[in-house]
Amino acid sequence: MQNDLLTADAIYTKLHANLADIVPDVMLRRKAEAAAQIEVLKRQRNAIVLGHNYMEPSLFHSIPDYRGDSLELSRVAATTDADIIVFCGVRFMAETAKILNPSKTVLIPSSKAGCSLAESITAQDVRDLRAMYPGVPIVTYINTYADVKAECDICCTSGNAVAVVESLGSEQVIFLPDEFLARNVARETGKHIIFPVKGAGHGPDVGDTTLDVKMIGWRGRCEVHEQFNVRDIKQVRSQVPDVLVLSHPECSPDVVEASDYSGSTTAMIRYVEKNAGRKFLILTECSMADNILASAPEAEMLRMCSVRCPHMAEITVEDTLLALLKTQFVVDVPEDIRVRAYKSVERMLQIGHTGPKD
Ligand code: 13P
Ligand code: SF4
């Protein structure tokens, strides 16, 4: 038997319970009306909505059937039997859903939801690196487009990057394209990292291709996480001595080292839930701090709300409604690229596991 459809009133009541202190009531009512229409369309069209942990609070707490980090949502996308997957996240995430489950229609509510890391590298860059370092396995962060994934040997997310690198059992590894994630993984796995001369931007490069090099990185950065610095952490700690500082591994190694904990977006949520009652500074997209409060209401959040991901912020409840009404924006991946990218993503999914939060 199917569950009863959620009405606008029921959705409003839930939103109000979680967000009354954060979002004005008039806005919650408006969001609840749109969310109720989405519920009808989901039922009519056999659609599911996946919501990344960075979605703004009124979306995060209303329409997703599953919420989670990149790894968790990939796992859901791979196994769903819905006909339509609406991905409330950024484009590389929606593409990954299509790569894993190509017979489904995958929609993204905004055509503008990109990612600075995904933009930082091309498929040709990866081919050049393979030619430069023949035989060295290539790990590509999931924050890349399908044609880049198609050129690599295995993908990883922030939740399994160390496990993926260790699974290769290789002396040398090429790790693309996030400079900071690569440095953080290199530190955790005890590898010495260099950056090839061709890697873009961000200061002097080291081009040594011999010596005891164990990890070869790229100069991509997340435009959000690169904004955090140790000076700010020290200042917050001097003002609030008992604060727990959490950082995403896309932050610089200095920031990660100055934090009490670093992990994927879901790993940070779990950490707060386990330490509820404490004060937290969470160095990641700022919506997440508000989203966590529903499951850890005793936690106290210090906010840096000027730091938002402009790409994630493109996704709204209203645009999700339009996506379902108009079947837009359809995410497609050319089949020859998809088949090769699938091998890298599927190989990653065989490693480690974290379950989705529904
Ligand atoms: P997670 O996989 O940890 O959710 O991270 C995705 C992301 O884009 C972080 O900026
Ligand atoms: Fe990309 Fe950074 Fe936004 Fe994540 S937060 S989607 S890595 S730009």
Name which residue sits closest to atom 7 of ligand 2, judged by CA.
Answer: 222
Please give the number of the atom of ligand 2 that sits closest to the Cα of 118: 1
Q: Which residues, including other chains, have CB under 8 Å from residue 352's CB and lie 6 or more apart?
A: 159, 160, 163
> Does residue 117's CB lie within 6 angstroms of at least one atom of ligand 2?
yes
- Which ligand has the shortest distance to the CA of 158? 1
Cα separation, 277 vs 300, whole angstroms: 7
Q: What is the mean pLDDT of residues 329-347?
A: 98
- Does this model's pTM top 0.85? My answer is yes
Give the pLDDT confidence score for residue 355 in this predicted structure.
Answer: 41
Q: What are the structural domains, with CATH classification, of the chain?
A: 8-114+312-326 (3.40.50.10800), 118-221+335-351 (3.40.50.10800), 225-301 (3.40.50.10800)
CB 198 within 8 A of CB 220: no
Enumerate residues lining ligand 1, CB below 6 A. 53, 69-70, 143, 157-159, 222, 248, 250, 264-265
Please give the number of the atom of ligand 2 that sits closest to the Cα of 225: 2
The best mutation among 56, 115, 248, 285 to test binding of ligand 2, ranked by most ligand atoms within 8 Å of the C-beta, falls on 115
> Does residue 285's CB lie within 6 angstroms of at least one atom of ligand 2?
yes
Give the pLDDT confidence score for residue 242 in this predicted structure.
Answer: 96
Please give the number of the atom of ligand 2 that sits closest to the Cα of 90: 6
CB 243 within 8 A of CB 236: yes
Name which residue sits closest to atom 3 of ligand 1, judged by CA.
Answer: 264
Give the pLDDT confidence score for residue 352 in this predicted structure.
Answer: 63
Look-up of token digits 């290789």: 170
CB 45 within 8 A of CB 324: yes
* pLDDT tens, position by position, 55-66: 999 999 999 999
Beta bridge partners of 178: 220
The mean-pLDDT minimum among 76-90, 104-118, 178-192, 290-304 falls in 290-304
